[in-house]
Structure 1
Amino acid sequence: MIGPEIYAGLTATAVLTGFIDAIAGGGGLIMMPALLFAGLPPHLALGTNKVQSMCGTGMATFRYRRAGLFRIGPNKPAIAVVFAGALAGAVVVQWIASRVLALIVPALLLAVAVYTVFSPRMDDADSHDRVGARGYLLVGGAIGFYDGFFGPGTGQFFAVTLVGLRGLGLTRATGLTKLLNVTSNVASVIAFGLGGKILWLLGFSMALGSMTGGWLGAHFAARHGARLIRPLLITASLGLTGKLVWGWFRG
């Protein structure tokens, strides 16, 4: 039985995670341990977290779109592929353990942090793309699958690949990241909901906090650009790397 104090505490925590997710991703670094500490079984924690994440990311997406940082029309193929990938991942994870993936992901996140620190491309200037919109579909689908299957670091992976492969400036990449991330969250919520692995009342209570944090985070990011996003992206990537490595060795 979850008491009202737990609802209040998790909703307040969701404000912080929504703010972090809107700017750099990695809010799950805070929210997932909080849900587990509150006594939720891992599968319910994962599914319920997707509800609040979907709503917070949705609010950030709305704010970024109003700022003119992306358009939906040209990105419809990517949205469809990411949705399909996340739906497949969320179905698969309910049957397969993710311990091996939990060891691989910290290495990828560390690479994200190193790239963000040393790459001169991690700013607000657009550059030539290395792959076109069609070429990025495979990458987007793989990240979508990963988000449905496991999740931590999805925002970082989208942002860095959109900068490094599509040539977007960091703020524009962050805006498009939210659109793709909310897509994968919607697919995951559908899969976990059909699997009966969501506490809906708690999820929507947390969603109120996450939406508040998401709006504030997107506002700050759209206003301050790469000078705010870059350090938070590095911090989130390194923090999540340490958390996952520690959790893996603890079993």
Structure 2
Amino acid sequence: MEFEIWQFAVFFIVAFIGGFIDAIAGGGGLICLPILMMMGVPAHTALATNKLQGSFGTLSATINFALKGYIDFKEIFSGIVFTFIGACLGTTLILFLDASFLNYLIPILLFIIFVYTIFSPNLGEIEKEAKMNAKLFYIVFGLILGFYDGFFGPGTGSFWMFVFIGLMGFAMKKAVACTKVLNFTSNIVSLAVFIVGGHILWAVGLLMGVGQILGGYVGSNFVINKDVKYIRIIFLTMVGLTILKLIYDLI
């Protein structure tokens, strides 16, 4: 496909915004994917290119959080391993099964997270005692959410943040940082499948990747430097938009 200069400029700007939002609360794909499709990119190619550029954003945010001391890789190593395994299983299974039933289930689960977060104004402000053994947590949710991201995907970051805060007692900033690591892990699996399928627009994806790197860096600094209430507002906004997007797809 061929694009004009102004279209490449739009791709870059939108990728920056998507990377910024995704680093804070997830859901950057809700911004970038529609733009790709509006520019006439076919659905499968848009999904593949979006996964490529989005992976740069999650990597950028992950590196920045790690350098600022928000990620203990020893602590979450088993989460990385089991998320990778879960994503491999989910990505493989989607080739044989129909994931459409999740269009009905996921908006309900996200709505529960949305309502719970609204009525828990102090959620994630301070670190609390874990309600679940860490090793068991990473095995269970690494497999479940890794599988889900490989199989379907929308709202994965929101689910990770919610279980980190609710079950592991993480403060919101730490939850965001660890979510980026595990999002990147499952993204790589999906990206590998798309690369094999040959659907990626490399020039567009790499250009947007640069925008994602910059956006992810700025967004992760926003998380580090700003009050939790701002992160909470953006998190609620992206969860709400994800719910609306899934309902719209159903209609």
Q: Is TM > 0.5 for Structure 1 vs Structure 2?
A: yes
- Provide the residue aligned with 1:131 in structure 2: 132
Matches within 5 A, 1:225-236: 225-236=227-238
The question of 1:3 aligning with 2:3 is answered yes
Letter in 2 for 1:224: K
- Give 1:178's match in structure 2, choosing from 171, 177, 180: 180
Aligned equivalents of 2:75, 2:90: Cα separation in 1: 25
Is residue 124–residue 170 contact of structure 2 (8 Å, CA) maintained in 1?
Answer: no
Cα deviation for residue 162 of structure 1 reads 0.4
Cα deviation for residue 71 of structure 1 reads 1.0
DSSP 3-state at the match of 2:203: helix
Aligned equivalents of 1:185, 1:103: Cα separation in 2: 23
In the superposition, relative to structure 1, how do residues 237 and 100 fare at CA in structure 2: closer, same or farther (>3 Å)?
Answer: same
Aligned equivalents of 1:97, 1:9: Cα separation in 2: 34
Greater alpha carbon shift after TM alignment, 71-80 vs 86-95:
86-95
In the superposition, relative to structure 1, how do residues 89 and 40 fare at CA in structure 2: closer, same or farther (>3 Å)?
Answer: farther
In the superposition, relative to structure 1, how do residues 94 and 198 fare at CA in structure 2: closer, same or farther (>3 Å)?
Answer: farther
Greater alpha carbon shift after TM alignment, 77-86 vs 91-100:
91-100
Aligned length: 249
Deviations 1:209-230 (A, max 9, x none): 1111111100011111412211
- Provide the residue aligned with 2:33 in structure 1: 32
- Provide the residue aligned with 1:224 in structure 2: 226
Which consecutive unaligned segments of at least 5 residues does structure 2 have? Answer: none
- Give 2:197's match in structure 1, choosing from 187, 195, 198: 195
Cα deviation for residue 245 of structure 1 reads 0.2
- Provide the residue aligned with 1:241 in structure 2: 243
Is residue 84–residue 187 contact of structure 1 (8 Å, CA) maintained in 2?
Answer: no
Letter in 2 for 1:231: I
Is residue 171–residue 226 contact of structure 1 (8 Å, CA) maintained in 2?
Answer: yes
Deviations 1:139-178 (A, max 9, x none): 1221112112222211111101100011111111111111
Aligned equivalents of 2:35, 2:76: Cα separation in 1: 34
Deviations 1:175-229 (A, max 9, x none): 1111111111112111221222322222111111111111110001111141221
Aligned equivalents of 1:78, 1:189: Cα separation in 2: 19
Greater alpha carbon shift after TM alignment, 147-156 vs 228-237:
147-156
DSSP 3-state at the match of 1:134: helix
Matches within 5 A, 1:85-104: 85-104=86-105
Is residue 87–residue 147 contact of structure 2 (8 Å, CA) maintained in 1?
Answer: yes
Aligned equivalents of 2:218, 2:132: Cα separation in 1: 32
Aligned equivalents of 1:158, 1:143: Cα separation in 2: 8
TM-score (norm 2): 0.93
In the superposition, relative to structure 1, how do residues 204 and 117 fare at CA in structure 2: closer, same or farther (>3 Å)?
Answer: same
- Provide the residue aligned with 1:60 in structure 2: 61
Q: Percent identity?
A: 37
Which consecutive unaligned segments of at least 5 residues does structure 1 have? Answer: none
Cα deviation for residue 21 of structure 1 reads 0.3
Cα deviation for residue 119 of structure 1 reads 2.4
Matches within 5 A, 1:67-82: 67-82=68-83
Matches within 5 A, 1:106-125: 106-119=107-120, 122-125=123-126
TM-score (norm 1): 0.93
Is residue 19–residue 57 contact of structure 2 (8 Å, CA) maintained in 1?
Answer: yes
Cα deviation for residue 94 of structure 1 reads 4.1
Letter in 2 for 1:98: A
- Provide the residue aligned with 2:216 in structure 1: 214
DSSP 3-state at the match of 2:135: coil
Aligned equivalents of 1:141, 1:120: Cα separation in 2: 30
Is residue 90–residue 192 contact of structure 1 (8 Å, CA) maintained in 2?
Answer: no
Aligned-residue Cα RMSD (Å) equals 1.6
Cα deviation for residue 103 of structure 1 reads 2.1
Aligned equivalents of 1:200, 1:85: Cα separation in 2: 27
Letter in 2 for 1:134: K
Deviations 1:30-49 (A, max 9, x none): 11212222222222222211
In the superposition, relative to structure 1, how do residues 98 and 45 fare at CA in structure 2: closer, same or farther (>3 Å)?
Answer: farther
